[in-house]
A = this chain, B = another copy of it.
Amino acid sequence: MKKQSRRSFLATASYSALLPLAAANSLDTKPKGMKNIFIHHVYFWMKNPGNAADVEKLVEGLRHLSKVKTIKTLHIGKPAGTPREVVDNSYGVSWMVTFKNKADQDSYQVDPIHLKFIEDCSHLWSKVIVYDSIDV
């Protein structure tokens, strides 16, 4: 196996839930669907809104949290500021992670890295809303 092929194989193996449709999408208009995943999306409202240092601390905590082994993909976000009535821009930080299944999410909840994150960072937020979604 040549080096480039091996790298491509590893990437495919890591994103096996995404890639089969992705390849098709390059060629036609089939939906670019993520299948067989568990999406855990957390929105944090800061105790001190507008305090950049607090946001940075929370983001650093999330970067450390991202080391939990069962996480497949993740995104650390902030409000895009899109000015529409139905858009909630009031949160401070968004944490979107995907897992293979519910069991992996359950394992993440009690992972020592996650418990340490809560211990270190929970003083930074005043409210958390979590939406957990599985395939329809």
Contacts and interface: CB of A to CB of B under 8 A. Distances in A.
B84 A39 contact: no
Contact of A33 (B41, B75, B94): B75
A129 B14 contact: no
Interface string A52-89: 00010001000100110101111111111110101111
Chain copies in complex? 2
Looking at chain A's contact residues, the main secondary structure is mixed
A131 B43 contact: yes
Interface residues of A, number: 67
A49 to B, nearest CB: 15
Given A26-B11, A32-B72, A39 B77 contact: yes
A121 interface: no
